């Protein structure tokens, strides 16, 4: 026994405590993401403690909230205080709003919530952008301020705003417990990159008895494995080995290479963002919470309107319910409806980032939505696509996909001039004869791109059957599938961690 205890003590002292302690400290070069080994180990320990607290609601809420703040600290450092500021201010505002029946006072309170949340967003995201605009208009000079953009600030401010606006509209009652509200705003699965979870959907789940069924475990692991494959295998590999090279300097590549780079980015951003959403949905399911789906095969869309019903559903529905409808929606005539659509997408572009590229991206989508609504109005069609003609449907899908790809050029490039260079290369310097050489030289990338698009266009019924078959497997098969996915990720991953694209928003 003494020998065993001595061996155990030696093993304990020989653990790399310095390295372990280093993993607990924020590293701007290595933010915590779901696909990292550190997170997987931490989550394994987290879920054990979480299960032990299943009968202790207050302790469980406090534990998850503390872990969520630690998760955000590992993503953005000391800026977790902004999360606490937004949480406390909106909770207090909602409490005050509920207690007063004075309509003018309620308007001032919801305006205060907007000022706090959007004020933080404006400072951290748009100070330098608008500073340069003002300097150009006045003939002055503006030097960029050194402002760190906290990860996911757009997500948690919009999420918190949905709460205060819904309280103002009388759709929900404010929470009496600050802990409950902090739990909702900081819930780590969706904290830094969405989906934007509505208070009306999430809050009723907080105090329900914790119940995680076998189907929830199977479905959650299915989403996690699919998300890991999308993000860590397809998205990261084609990004590092092809897409980043093309977008770094489009002028060095032919139009064909630029076009393939755009196709690659279309797949990369979809796999990156939908992969994160899948993992968030899966992790939440393992904890007994349900999120709405955030992506629904958007490149299957036959119109730009349908695209926005399938892409980043939580954001597009948020913009519709809290911006488009607030502007008047379609209640004030056709001209006003078209203008409201454009304004919504223009501001949606700015939400993504402070640059003229994002302005162009949002404006292009706004104009496309206006044109499609006009077409629907002129033809009297509900969808804008005559579905009785299969070949027309296919052409519409191809056209919508290529329009989305055109817009991705502006979304991905940092400089507007780079976007124009890429377009110039595609339309004036194409060189289709390079296709065979490209496929041979980048066959790993092209094979993954082909696989990614193939999986994307798999019919929904087949995808659902595969998910149901996975859920029915024995529990040990889940473990094997997860281990196999981790091994695949280790084999294909690059040396540097590839943060999720939407971390910057």
pLDDT tens for 405-421 read 999 999 999 888 899 99
Range among 8-12, 113-117, 120-124 with highest mean pLDDT value: 113-117
Whether the pLDDT of residue 389 is over 90: the answer is no
More confident residue, 427 or 25: 427
CA nearest neighbour of 23 among 45, 8, 2, 7: 45
pLDDT classification of 5: cutoffs 50, 70, 90: very low
What span, in angstroms and rounded, lies between the C-alpha atoms of 51 and 288?
11
Whether the pLDDT of residue 493 is over 80: the answer is no
Residue 139, class by beta-carbon neighbours within 10 Å (0-12 exposed, 13-18 middle, 19+ buried)? exposed
Give the containing element (helix H, strand E) for 474. none
Whether the pLDDT of residue 9 is over 80: the answer is no
Contact between residue 80 and residue 73 where contact means Cβ atoms under 8 Å apart: yes
Q: Is the pTM of this model over 0.95?
A: no
pLDDT of 12: 45
pLDDT of 30: 63
pLDDT digits (tens, 9 = 90+) for 247-300: 999 999 999 999 999 999 999 999 999 998 999 999 999 999 999 889 999 999
56 is catalytic: no
pLDDT of 66: 94
More confident residue, 494 or 43: 43
What span, in angstroms and rounded, lies between the C-alpha atoms of 330 and 373?
11
The reply to whether omega before 200 is within 30° of 0 (cis) is no
Q: Which of 352, 365, 372, 456 is catalytic?
A: 352
Contact between residue 77 and residue 31 where contact means Cβ atoms under 8 Å apart: no
pLDDT digits (tens, 9 = 90+) for 132-190: 788 887 877 878 778 777 877 888 888 899 999 999 988 889 999 999 999 999 998 88
User: Which residues, 6+ apart, have CB-to-CB distance to 211 below 8 Å?
Assistant: 288
Contact between residue 368 and residue 403 where contact means Cβ atoms under 8 Å apart: yes
The residue-averaged pLDDT of 454-467 equals 92
How far out from the chain centre does Cα 467 lie?
A: 22
pLDDT of 38: 77
pLDDT of 15: 47
pLDDT digits (tens, 9 = 90+) for 180-220: 999 999 998 887 776 888 888 899 999 888 888 899 999 99
Whether the pLDDT of residue 14 is over 60: the answer is no
In the block, residue with structure tokens 């904290």: 191
Whether the pLDDT of residue 355 is over 90: the answer is no
Q: What is the CA radius of gyration of the chain?
A: 24
What span, in angstroms and rounded, lies between the C-alpha atoms of 297 and 100?
45
């Amino acid at each position: 026994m003494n020998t065993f205890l001595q061996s155990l003590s030696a093993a304990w002292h020989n653990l790399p405590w310095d390295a372990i302690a280093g993993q607990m400290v924020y590293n701007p070069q290595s933010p915590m993401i779901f696909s990292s080994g550190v997170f997987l180990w931490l989550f394994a320990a987290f879920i054990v403690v979480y299960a032990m607290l299943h009968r202790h609601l207050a302790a469980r809420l406090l534990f998850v909230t503390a872990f969520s703040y630690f998760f955000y600290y590992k993503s953005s450092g000391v800026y977790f205080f902004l999360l606490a500021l937004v949480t406390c201010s909106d909770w207090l505002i909602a409490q005050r709003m509920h207690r007063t029946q004075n309509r003018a006072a309620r308007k001032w309170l919801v305006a205060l919530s907007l000022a706090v949340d959007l004020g933080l967003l404006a400072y951290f995201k748009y100070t330098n952008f608008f500073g340069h605009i003002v300097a150009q208009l006045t003939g002055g000079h503006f030097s960029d301020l050194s402002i760190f953009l906290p990860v996911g600030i757009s997500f948690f401010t919009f999420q918190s705003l949905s709460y205060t606006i819904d309280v103002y509209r009388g759709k929900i009652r404010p929470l009496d417990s600050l802990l409950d509200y902090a739990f909702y705003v900081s819930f780590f699965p969706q904290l830094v990159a969405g989906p934007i979870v509505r208070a009306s959907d999430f809050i009723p789940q907080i105090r329900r008895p914790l119940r995680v069924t076998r189907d929830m475990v199977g479905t959650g692991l299915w989403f996690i494995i699919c998300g890991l494959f999308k993000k860590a295998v397809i998205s990261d590999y084609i990004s590092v080995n092809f897409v980043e090279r093309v977008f770094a300097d489009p002028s060095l590549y032919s139009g064909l290479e630029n076009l393939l780079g755009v196709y690659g980015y279309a797949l990369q951003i979809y796999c990156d963002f939908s992969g994160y959403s899948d993992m968030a949905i899966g992790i939440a399911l393992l904890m007994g919470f349900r999120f709405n789906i955030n992506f629904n095969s958007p490149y299957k869309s036959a119109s730009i309107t349908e695209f926005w019903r399938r892409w980043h559903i939580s954001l597009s529905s948020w913009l519709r319910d809290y911006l488009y409808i607030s502007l008047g929606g379609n209640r004030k005539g056709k001209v006003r409806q078209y203008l409201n659509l454009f304004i919504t997408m223009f501001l949606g572009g700015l939400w993504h980032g402070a640059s003229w590229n994002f302005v162009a991206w949002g404006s292009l989508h706004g104009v496309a939505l206006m044109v499609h609504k006009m077409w629907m109005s002129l033809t009297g069609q509900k969808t804008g696509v005559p579905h009785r003609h299969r070949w027309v449907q296919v052409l519409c899908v191809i056209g919508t996909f290529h329009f989305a790809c055109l817009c991705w050029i502006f979304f991905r490039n940092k400089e507007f001039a780079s976007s124009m260079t890429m377009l110039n290369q595609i339309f004036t310097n194409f060189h289709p004869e390079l296709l065979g050489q490209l496929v041979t030289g980048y066959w790993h990338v092209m094979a993954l791109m082909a696989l990614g698009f193939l999986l994307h266009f798999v019919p929904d019924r087949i995808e659902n059957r595969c998910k149901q078959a996975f859920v029915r497997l024995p529990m040990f098969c889940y473990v094997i599938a997860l281990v196999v996915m981790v091994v695949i990720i280790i084999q294909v991953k690059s040396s540097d961690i590839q943060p999720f694209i939407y971390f910057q928003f």
